[in-house]
Amino acid sequence: MSDGVITLLDPRLGWALLCLFGLLWVFLGWYWGRRASSVDDFLLAGRKVGLALGTATAMATWVTSNTVMLAPVFALEKGLWGMVAYSTASFGLFLFAPLSRRIRTLMPEGHTSGDFMRLRYGKWAWYLFLVISMVYSVAWLVSMGTAGGKLMETLAGIPYFHGVTSILLVCVIYTLFGGMYAVIGTDFIQSAIILAGVLLVGSLVVIRTDLRALYDTMAVEQPSLINALMPVALLSLFNNMFFGFGEVFHNNVWWSRAHAMRAEVAPRAFFLSGLLWFPIPIAAGFIALSATSLGVNVIDPNTVGPLVAGQVLGKVGAVLVFVVVFCSLASSIDSLLAATSDLLLQDLGKKILGISSEPSRFRLYSKFIIILLGFLTWVLCALEMDLLQILFLSGPLVASAIWPIIAGLYWNRAHWLAAVLAMLLGSALGLWAYFQIGWYTASLISSVVSMAVIFVSVPFCRQTFDWKKLHE
């Protein structure tokens, strides 16, 4: 950060908070991680996570630094519909509830979403799926690291690269210590802090804002934000919804949680986590809507949420936002590190490269991949790419996987070639829409194309899939 720029927190206080919470997560990671004695313990927390921990980990994982930063951006750019659009990402959790039940029934000993694609559709769909999943996972990790670095800089004047390095280092260390046990344990505490923090900041901003003045100012200076028919906002509603479905349905973060929870708990935990997550983007978004009426000058839309919270609530607000941001960063980065290393190890390492599955070696490889992923994210974060661009470019890729997953789980006449074509055509046309029409149509187009391919193919499919093939 350049000299002379005023930040909301004293950098020394920022570093103190960073060290305090960093040490806390590392200690808790080590403490809970002692229970992980087998590979299944390390990767899937022994497959016996209960309702409270299951709900908390799903909710905390879905509240990312992107939620804290992009939900306010959505509200600032697309108004009321923008807030609702971001909240529709919770629909992914609602609908993953029945899917998780089906996953546990079909694959009681399963490990990854890649396992499902390989056993259900064969190697070509599996390879393509792994490419899509890895592109998305790295994009998600980088977008979170970038968001975290920028927020640390805005809030406390911690230089961007120092912030990114500290956050990644903490998350890599405690994930290494405890695997999924550490991730789920810390997620429980982090989810409580995030939920209380965001709702408290949102409520305080509402209390300190004259709603009549807010409406009057917006009607004059930002009339489109309160226009119920704002075109881009309406389109982003569906686009964001399908992006959210794609993210949740395909990614191993959610599949690994489905496998980690007790079978009867998983559907309820995903549904409850969706309910708890739904108000968070609305609370975060409202903060941004009030910026103009409160006289807050926004320079970088990516930091509008923390900026308004800090200016309205002073140092207390800034500390609250800092802690919430750090918790949301840690709760998502650790989950993604653990689940992606699991996917790489099980699918790429074990099934493609044929590495040894001897438990002590397997765990060692898992730790090596976590470090490698952390390092890759750290290098890519140095490029300081645009947040929306990073995230939404992967939208059409993951949206193309929605229908191969749904059809694969419920229909015994979904063919492997249809799944491959659905992902290829969906991704291609979604990316075309991204560049030719706008990002707000990419996931929508991709999902609909993928759906059309699957529906058209089913009447021509002569083979009936034997579900028992999923028991490996």
Partner 1 sequence: MVRYEGPDQATYLSGLAAGNYFFRVMAKGPQSAASSSWSQPFELQVVFVGTHQVILLSLIGLAGFTILVVSIMVGHRLSQREPKVLSS
Cα 333–76–159 angle (5° rounding)? 45
DSSP characters for 308-335? Answer: HHHHHHHHHHHHHHHHHHHHHHHHHHHH
Q: CB of 321 within 8 A of CB of 155? A: yes
Angle of helix 65-87 versus helix 304-343 axis, rounded to 10: 100
Give the one residue of 113, 252, 340, 447 binding partner 1; rule: CB under 8 A: 447
Give the one residue of 239, 256, 290, 400 binding partner 1; rule: CB under 8 A: 239
Give the one residue of 13, 40, 51, 102 binding partner 1; rule: CB under 8 A: 102
Q: Which stretch binds partner 1 (CB under 8 A): 27-35, 92-100, 190-198, 378-386?
A: 92-100
Q: Which stretch binds partner 1 (CB under 8 A): 22-30, 317-325, 375-383, 408-416?
A: 408-416
Give the one residue of 99, 193, 284, 321 binding partner 1; rule: CB under 8 A: 99
Give the one residue of 144, 180, 409, 418 binding partner 1; rule: CB under 8 A: 409
Non-local (6+) Cβ contacts of 328 within 8 A are 60, 63, 64, 65, 67, 68, 190, 194
Q: Does 402 bind partner 1 (CB under 8 A)?
A: yes
Q: Which stretch binds partner 1 (CB under 8 A): 96-104, 127-135, 160-168, 311-319?
A: 96-104
**Dist. CA 215–CA 459, nearest whole Å:** 54
Q: How many residues comprise the chain? A: 472
Q: Does 222 bind partner 1 (CB under 8 A)?
A: yes
* Per-residue exposure over 155-192, b if at least 16 CB sit within 10 Å of its own CB, e if not: bbbbebeebbbbbbebbbbbbbbbbbbbbbbbbbbbbe
With CA atoms as reference, report the closest residue to 444 among 384, 392, 376: 392
Backbone φ and ψ for 109, nearest 5 degrees, come out as -110, 15
Q: Which stretch binds partner 1 (CB under 8 A): 58-66, 240-248, 270-278, 333-341?
A: 240-248
Q: How far is the CB of 230 from partner 1 (least distance, A)?
A: 8
Burial class (CB in 10 A: 0-12, 13-18, 19+), 218: buried
Positions 292 through 331 that interact with partner 1 (CB under 8 A): 297-301
Name the token pair of 66. 């992107």
Q: Which stretch binds partner 1 (CB under 8 A): 42-50, 208-216, 241-249, 320-328?
A: 241-249
If the CB atoms of residues 54 and 72 are measured against partner 1, the closer one turns out to be 72
Q: Which stretch binds partner 1 (CB under 8 A): 47-55, 355-363, 364-372, 440-448?
A: 440-448
**Dist. CA 38–CA 198, nearest whole Å:** 37
Q: CB of 186 within 8 A of CB of 333? A: no
Q: Does 69 bind partner 1 (CB under 8 A)?
A: no
Q: Does 238 bind partner 1 (CB under 8 A)?
A: yes
Q: How far is the CB of 96 from partner 1 (least distance, A)?
A: 9
Binding mask 258-297 for partner 1 (x = CB under 8 A): ---------------------------------------x
Q: Is the C-alpha dihedral spanning 77, 79, 81, 85 positive or negative?
A: positive
Compute how many residues bind partner 1; rule: CB under 8 A: 47
Q: Does 422 bind partner 1 (CB under 8 A)?
A: no
Q: Which parts of this chain interact with partner 1 (CB under 8 A)?
A: 76-77, 79, 95, 98-99, 101-102, 105-106, 218, 221-225, 227, 230-232, 234-235, 237-239, 241-242, 245, 297-301, 402, 406, 409-411, 437-438, 441, 444, 447-448, 451, 467-468
